[in-house]
Structure 1
């Protein structure tokens, strides 16, 4: 037995979980934790400038490593309220973030005390689970429960509130448990009868397609998914935001489907007679929840680790509760070869020809004129970005256009806000990924508005030597909203324009490296120089402010005509 404070016990529990990086913002409510961290040389504390952006760092860190990303909000009240957006973002992405927040002393609750807010109620809607510790002796138990909950499928963020008196309290503690003693070690496989039935459906299909999502991407299951696609000789598409689930160069990869995907992948899902949804919810970004984006007459086989997701948005011919890579591997051994089936061979050959034409045409129609056009910028990025780069994106129309316009050569290389549609995610996410994989090139795409929200984290990047590259696609406006005002509200612009300082010069003032590109032929050299600079870098790219695109035209059908 060892006597410790609640704060010391919290740090010891983090050490037992092999926490390598702890993102956080210091505050007086958790001084016992910070004092214990002083002696915890095996934990790298990354002090940030804003709790929201720090949570995005932890979110991206979790996605790229498959482990929990941990954030510490040092102050109760305002220090924790700033977490809400970041945790809501992580929940939409099913990202295992463990957020720890200081909390009001137990004896002061319900007295309108300084910085009092009901943190238990506040975080419940935006997390998988929220706890408030009741005594120092239970701190390790609750930290263990938080890790276990965050990492148990379906993964998601959790919030642990630690009151001041709990952190200051003393207790005797047993040695910290090994995490393997309270983790699940295997995931469910599909039943043999279900595999046989699904294999028969796939074998009799003439226009089969596999749709992969986060269940393949985050599990590293691309090899199993591709083995199945090759056994069937059928195309494989990815859900939006998961274009990296399958390596770009594979001949059966059609890219991202749906309203924000490409025409070839989208056409496949609209015309397929059997759709195997492999680790995907067939959710909003893929389908907009309408049959405009998926064949109403197709038989759907949906493989999901979350049983509540099966058939939730579209009726299925067969639902299989299973780990997606495991089911893919089972199916690959059960199906007969699609190579011998003439209808499938033609379906796949036609798709491959269309895909080749799409990629050729994409380069051919890229507008290389001045001012810089999005298509020309994306072509330059395709040419200059290293194949092993991790790429992060924001919401907003320029990033949405870029999502399927870039090439993701290696799995787990694309990180976006996904269904939360958050602006202000990308730069912070890039910092989290670079910390996790310091030898890997990390490039973050943002608009000028989103970067302006989060630019203070340049100090974090400089202080900790986190050398990511941020490309600011600077068009001087909130592009999505300005496009809607132009197209549906008669150009009655209000609140749509953004003024910013020269971001390249601002980066220099922070001690980072700044680069400016006013012409397209300057973009490639600037990005290459940024990657080679050995510093956190910002490339400020001037994009044509009139090159606006209305993505959600369906939202304004009531104003058409």
Structure 2
């Protein structure tokens, strides 16, 4: 055994977990870890400009790779507090982020010391679990436990506070066994699978509603096979339009206001709904029957038993992995002839084709200022088949969510139920590091990009060549839409004066492009794809092209 500092013990433990990227911002409390990373050439350290955006990078890396993403906040106090928004985002997305936070020296706790804050309490509500190390010799154990907790169902972020004196002490390092966290996904009980199969056999209007459990488990092949046996359209929960490849003839897209009317109507008309790997949560249902047929028999499949029937009444609850259960059901239904659903599936395909044709027609309008539909049409036509898209919340990204071509799952990364603005660009940098061979396109509004554009410096420094399309309408679009539609146009705080983001990109050393008219986009996008640098495309969008997504919240203000 080697005599090492606590900081070196942390890095050796990361190595034993197979970590090859660490995102972070240096600070004196974690200096022992940073020094150990200097001597670890097999672990690439990505120095970021803010701990929040670094956490988004770790989040994107985790979701794209399927492994844990690691964020290291070197400074106690403000460095740790900056993690909170990113961890809350990862928590809402069930993303396995491991946060390592430098912490106050043990002898200074409760003395109102410099940059003192109760980090243990701070992280509790935004993580699966939070620990504070109290002994240097236990650091390997705690790091392994952090990975085990983050990666076991349901996945999610964890935080480990590391007091600077614990990191400075020397121990005889024994890595011990790495925590085993690759447990086989659970299968559904045979009797429950049989009950679910019987319901599906009798369905005349079956629908499969796929959620994050399908996407995160990379289970699309099993789900497609089952859908073909059932003649069931494939709808997806909001933010998971990439759970299944968009080119399949049964692909319906996402339901709800962030989705499309065809997929939503299928959910409103289906007589049996197989909800695979979804909580049937807020963005899917708005906790009403508006988007789901209240008479439908719902079969819900979840790895969290508490989610079964919690938010929506169900007929059958299956505690199991979405992909495993889909395979079980396909085996049970292998001889099934879904003749009763033939007309249902054919009608769906006609409606879907009409929707896609309508999108192309609307997007073909060559208006100035540029309309979102025109931008989306061009992105569909020009984006390579391997493209991975990241998005913010906000009116323009929400309009785009169901419009992009998700050809190769996984291909869509959004804030999901946390609804965070300022997420997309940093997330895209993490996605690109996880999948360097694929094209990464980050869509953002101008307000969200202004929050996080300092990470252009990170992209340039580390050669992370993603493309960010800034949809610049000069305002906080979602809120301005609500002020327009429900508050008589009494605008306050809605407009955002911006610098020319293409020029900002160039000053950082990236490539910048400006698009004022639809005719300029193809050349700019092609140049961004081929430039071999991080690229920012500042696209001027019609500031009046706004849409109120949360109309339910303002029913009390709606005019009759």
Which of the five TM-score ranges fits, normalised by the shorter chain? over 0.9
The answer to whether the 8 Å contact 1:503/1:514 transfers is yes
Aligned twin of 1:164:
164
Aligned twin of 1:110:
110
Q: Does 2:68 match 1:68?
A: yes
What pairs up with 1:310-389 in 2 under 5 angstroms?
Answer: 310-335=308-333, 339-341=337-339, 343-366=340-363, 367-389=365-387
Q: Does 2:275 match 1:277?
A: yes
Aligned twin of 2:143:
143
1:400-436 superposed Cα distances (whole Å, 9 cap, x missing partner): 0000111211110000000000000000011001111
Aligned twin of 1:174:
174
Q: Distance in 1 between matches of 2:367 and 2:336?
A: 45
Q: Cα offset for 1:212?
A: 0.3
Q: Distance in 2 between matches of 1:109 and 1:174?
A: 29
What pairs up with 1:375-414 in 2 under 5 angstroms?
Answer: 375-414=373-412
Q: Cα offset for 1:81?
A: 0.2
The answer to whether the 8 Å contact 1:275/1:301 transfers is yes
Structure 2's unaligned 5+ residue stretches are none
The answer to whether the 8 Å contact 2:12/2:175 transfers is no
Q: Does 2:124 match 1:124?
A: yes
Q: Does 2:209 match 1:207?
A: no
Q: Distance in 2 between matches of 1:436 and 1:340?
A: 40
Match of 2:530 among 529, 532, 535: 532
Q: Cα offset for 1:195?
A: 1.1
Q: Does 2:98 match 1:98?
A: yes
1:189-222 superposed Cα distances (whole Å, 9 cap, x missing partner): 1111111111000001111100001100011100
The answer to whether the 8 Å contact 2:70/2:99 transfers is yes
Q: Which SS does the other structure have where 1:149 is aligned?
A: helix
The answer to whether the 8 Å contact 1:259/1:293 transfers is no
Question: What is the TM-score of this pair, normalised by structure 2?
Answer: 0.98
What pairs up with 1:452-531 in 2 under 5 angstroms?
Answer: 452-531=450-529
Aligned twin of 2:555:
557
Q: Which SS does the other structure have where 1:126 is aligned?
A: coil
Aligned twin of 1:27:
27
Q: Distance in 2 between matches of 1:271 and 1:423?
A: 34
Q: Which SS does the other structure have where 1:206 is aligned?
A: coil
RMSD (Å), alpha carbons: 1.0
Aligned twin of 1:242:
240
Q: Cα offset for 1:368?
A: 2.4
Q: Distance in 2 between matches of 1:308 and 1:150?
A: 18
1:371-411 superposed Cα distances (whole Å, 9 cap, x missing partner): 10111111111111111101100000000000011121111
Q: Which SS does the other structure have where 1:102 is aligned?
A: strand
Q: Which SS does the other structure have where 2:235 is aligned?
A: strand
Q: Cα offset for 1:484?
A: 0.7
The answer to whether the 8 Å contact 1:233/1:337 transfers is no
* 1:172–1:473 distance in 2 versus 1, CA, 3 Å: same
Q: Which SS does the other structure have where 2:61 is aligned?
A: helix
Q: Cα offset for 1:365?
A: 1.9
The answer to whether the 8 Å contact 2:77/2:117 transfers is yes
Q: Which SS does the other structure have where 1:255 is aligned?
A: strand
Q: Distance in 2 between matches of 1:255 and 1:338?
A: 25
Q: Which SS does the other structure have where 1:376 is aligned?
A: helix
Aligned twin of 1:46:
46
Q: Which SS does the other structure have where 2:45 is aligned?
A: strand
1:423-460 superposed Cα distances (whole Å, 9 cap, x missing partner): 00000011001111112111100000000000000110
Q: Distance in 2 between matches of 1:379 and 1:425?
A: 23
* 1:442–1:184 distance in 2 versus 1, CA, 3 Å: closer
The answer to whether the 8 Å contact 1:135/1:169 transfers is no
1:59-98 superposed Cα distances (whole Å, 9 cap, x missing partner): 0000000000000000000000000000000000000000
| Structure 1, 374-383 or 61-70: larger mean CA deviation | 374-383
The answer to whether the 8 Å contact 2:29/2:102 transfers is yes
Q: Distance in 1 between matches of 2:43 and 2:376?
A: 39
What pairs up with 1:399-438 in 2 under 5 angstroms?
Answer: 399-438=397-436
1:24-58 superposed Cα distances (whole Å, 9 cap, x missing partner): 00000011111111111110000000000000000
Question: What is the TM-score of this pair, normalised by structure 1?
Answer: 0.98
Q: Which SS does the other structure have where 2:125 is aligned?
A: helix
Q: Which SS does the other structure have where 2:99 is aligned?
A: strand
The answer to whether the 8 Å contact 2:13/2:175 transfers is no
Structure 1's unaligned 5+ residue stretches are none
1:520-547 superposed Cα distances (whole Å, 9 cap, x missing partner): 1111211111010000000000001111
Q: Distance in 1 between matches of 2:35 and 2:536?
A: 35
Q: Cα offset for 1:339?
A: 4.3
The answer to whether the 8 Å contact 1:339/1:345 transfers is no
1:160-212 superposed Cα distances (whole Å, 9 cap, x missing partner): 00001100112222244245xx2243111111111111100000111110000
